[in-house]
Structure 1
């Protein structure tokens, strides 16, 4: 351990994965010296909070999975354990065939597990329900390699389940399209069913039964907003965090790594014993081009989708009645610009407590291949969101305040073969001592998944430093 304390680790990127890596490197103050370098003016990446009508509202992710412990554990490590809060409701709907309809009970990422509940929901037509029921008698659909979500689900349950349940569900997570998304990477539980079960419905029923047996809140957040988590983690990590500094080159040296940062006319050289790259795929690819060209090429092939979040703060009287549930999804087949709506002050009671006369709504706009809608200016995006709420919810009048947050190239696409690509990237990086990667590009876009990659990167670097210390001693 003494040998580690004298070493220097640089984390490139101060999103939640990089900050988690820095925090886990700390090891209770017994870890190496850590420097976090971030090109932007603030830490946190897509986690950011600002005021809308005087209420602090997240501009990026506003929830994290509670059933994966990594995110909540990191919040506790950062001193925010007492600020973790549960949602008031997670009951959601889907806009289907022109009406809001409750998502069928017992679904697994949109895959129905109860045909009776599916029929009662009205999300599908009677013909769509009948087609889904054929899964019980159809012969097995062999899945021996990774396939698209669309290919497998359509073969088992038909086009309506795919279009009206799976597509909006995965579109909300990845802003992607099921004909490209990897079954293995985006729906691993369903992929396991595909490999071992004949019936997808029966497999989903088993998963849903297991989930209800361990029931508890699905999501959690921080009372002050998830956007406050990065600063707290940065502080708890004890790292030297430097913002407004871009790393332009990464060079392997005899004793470790050299990073070239800053503008070419005033560049800065930073020496490190180990480096963790916690940046998106494209900048990671550029930094690895010299030392790991094959891994760099694989990273460059990961495509990203853009999106925008329009936040509207309405007076309560603008709604004909209190919105039911946490929000709703909009399938692409409905041909609307808004892909999801969250009633934030209903989902999170602490937001309602901040101003009981407000209803705060977040509208998500943009999917892969729909970049043209995001070229509209902020006022036009606000108008699209307002039109959606008027048509679907009967909302009238003007919001008291609005905010448009654009996340350009923010969501990595886990296309078919993604996990194989990640394995090749990791193999290329593993060949370089003292180097690790982490972030949303690899094994999950949610906060707990990103935190898990940061922790794994920190452990890899610690192991390297310990081995180097033993060899030197």
Structure 2
């Protein structure tokens, strides 16, 4: 392979930027890295804005501090690599609530994404069907099998545990429903233990024991000043040429690598590279793959997404409970599915004037019609529903912001990991210098996306002839 290498990264979200950083760290000196981002902004769903003179997240709010095995998460490792580890801050209020039966009840402890390891702890919110979770003499999940989270939990603990605990917890992350989401993708630790344990409670306990967390260890972190700092630092440290407003419209294999067609149809630009990391959502990736790997394109393009809106209100001295926020089960019939009390949850954002920032997430998979209203109507509905849940009228906001994320959250149906593995294997066999990365394949959350980008970079390095680092 010719030197220096030329690598194109299509997509300037945190996945693509993490790939650029890994390439810079591990690829031979002089490797030319170019990031193509079709919009004018880097970071994808990481976007720090400002409201009422205060920084606030208009996208992802935080990242997990630990990985599933209990080690440092990929997001923390990236922050450390970028010199930002000392800038990580943690919630000062960690207790959240569930909005059920017209009131707020603390989310019970001892659960794994709402699935209880101790049935007695969840009775304040839901009544488990303890008799159904019997030892049948065989593991809950067969080798290689996958089921929806809802199907497994309903069969073992009953409807209330799903509807009042698991569904809102998963909905807060994926905007999807437990009855549709893959256990292996969304709850890999539980899926792993379910292949050996005979009861669901036992599987939860085994998963928790496999990745113990010391008391007081923070679960989540963010960066002082906002997560856009992670984006900016990664863009700089990756040493890549950043091309904004540069849509890649076509990929064509060449004798030595790839030709990219970039820019508008009336003035296209052709670029020759040795390798490509596709770090865009599944459907744009499928369009680029259609002419070169149609079966992979069909698999990738079948992934569906949920749309959401994040509505942030700046409220003058509201009477808020001492909670980080609350989740709303779909059975409550509210537009809001989750809310975060930013200036309560994150102590570094607290203001001496008492102005509070409250954000609500609106939109569930299959309910996109609820978002087809004006920003003003969304703000009014969120304000009204917050007042209802808190059982007290909130003051009128002095400022508000609506961030719409169309097609933002992948919906992983059972069998997703096997489909992705097969698609990647087929692509690797035919085109080893083309790698897929991102939330559409590996899961949501900043650590997962960072790890996905880094893994794709390693695949490209291997395909081009190995690392010098």
2:397, 2:467 → 1: CA distance?
60
Q: CA deviation at 1:420?
A: 1.2
After superposition, give the CA deviation of every residue in 1:382-431 in whole Å (9 maximum; x if it has no partner): 11110121111124220111100000001111111111111122112212
Give the alignment partner of residue 90 of structure 1, picking from 88, 94, 98: 94
Name whichever structure is richer in helix by fraction.
Answer: 1
Matched-pair contact (CA < 8 Å) for 1:17–1:278: yes
Structure 1 residues 101-112: aligned runs within 5 Å: 101-112=105-116
CA distance in 1, matches of 2:266, 2:147: 48
Contact 2:250 2:261 in 1 (8 A): yes
CA distance in 2, matches of 1:8, 1:463: 14
- Give the superposition deviation at 1:193: 3.2
What TM-score does the superposition give when structure 2 sets the normalisation length? 0.93
Residue in 2 aligned with 1:380? 377
1:80 is displaced (CA, Å) by 1.8
> What is the CA distance between 1:202 and its match in structure 2?
2.1
Describe the shift of the 1:5–1:27 C-alpha distance in structure 2 as closer, same or farther (beyond 3 A).
farther
C-alpha distance in 2, partners of 1:333/1:437? 37
Give the corresponding residue for 2:387: 390
Displacement of 1:210: 5.1
CA deviation profile, 1:102-128 (whole Å, cap 9, x unmatched) = 111111110011222222xx212xxx2
1:37 aligns with 2:41: no
Aligned to 1:237: 238
Measured after TM superposition, the shift of residue 140 of structure 1 is: 5.5
Match of 1:332 in 2: 330
What aligned pairs does 1:206-355 form with structure 2 within 5 A after superposition? 206-209=206-209, 211-215=211-215, 216-316=217-317, 318-319=318-319, 322-353=320-351, 355=352
Match of 1:411 among 409, 416, 424: 409
Q: For 1:356 and 1:229, how far apart are their aligned partners in 2? A: 29
Q: What is the CA deviation profile of residues 58-88 of structure 1, one whole-angstrom value per residue up to 9, with x for unaligned ones?
A: 1000100001321011122223222111111
For residue 258 of structure 1, report the CA deviation from its aligned partner.
0.3
Q: Distance in 2 between matches of 1:5 and 1:85?
A: 42
- Are 2:46 and 2:58, in contact at CA under 8 Å, matched by a contact in 1? yes
**For 1:81 and 1:468, how far apart are their aligned partners in 2?**
26
Q: Is the 8 A contact 2:139 2:197 kept in 1?
A: no
Stretches of structure 1 that go unaligned for 5 or more consecutive residues are none
Name the CA distance, whole Å, in 1 between partners of 2:180 and 2:16. 28
| Stretch of structure 1 that moved more, 443-452 or 92-101 | 92-101
Contact 2:110 2:117 in 1 (8 A): yes
Residues 194-203 or 13-22, more deviating: 194-203
Could you tell me which runs of 5 or more consecutive residues in structure 2 were left unpaired when the two chains were aligned. 68-72
**TM-fit CA distance, 1:308:** 0.4
Shift of 1:212: 4.8
Q: Partner residue of 1:433?
A: 432
**Which residue in the other structure is 1:150 paired with?**
150
The aligned counterpart of 1:26 is: 24
Superposed CA deviations along residues 329-368 of structure 1, whole A, max 9, x for unmatched, are 0000111100001111111111115x55111111000010
Is the 1:311–1:402 contact (alpha carbons within 8 Å) kept by the matching residues of 2?
yes
Task: Provide the C-alpha distance between the structure 1 equivalents of 2:349 and 2:294, rounded to a whole number of angstroms.
Answer: 48
Once residues 7 and 206 of structure 1 are traced to their aligned partners in structure 2, the CA distance between those partners, rounded to angstroms, is: 46
Number of residue-to-residue matches in the alignment: 457
Q: Is 2:315–2:357's contact at 8 Å kept on the other side of the alignment?
A: yes
Matched residue SS, 1:309: strand
Distance 2:463 2:394 in 1: 60
1:67 counterpart residue number: 66
CA contact (8 A) 2:461 2:467 kept: no
What secondary structure sits across from 2:115 in the alignment? coil
Deviates more, 1:131-140 or 1:176-185: 131-140
Residue of structure 2 in register with 1:123 after alignment: 125
- Provide the rounded CA distance (Å) in 2 between the counterparts of 1:4 and 1:372: 52
Which position in structure 1 is the counterpart of 2:198? 198
Other structure's SS at 2:326 match: strand
Q: Structure 1 pair 199/8, CA: closer, same or farther in 2 (3 Å)?
A: same
Q: Deviations over 1:163-211 (max 9, x none)?
A: 0001001111111112211111111122223322111112213333555
Partner of 2:70: none
Find the aligned partners of 2:407 and 2:102 in 1 and give their Cα distance: 31
* Deviation for aligned residue 1:139: 6.8
Report the CA distance between 1:40 and its aligned residue: 0.3
Aligned counterpart, 1:12: 10
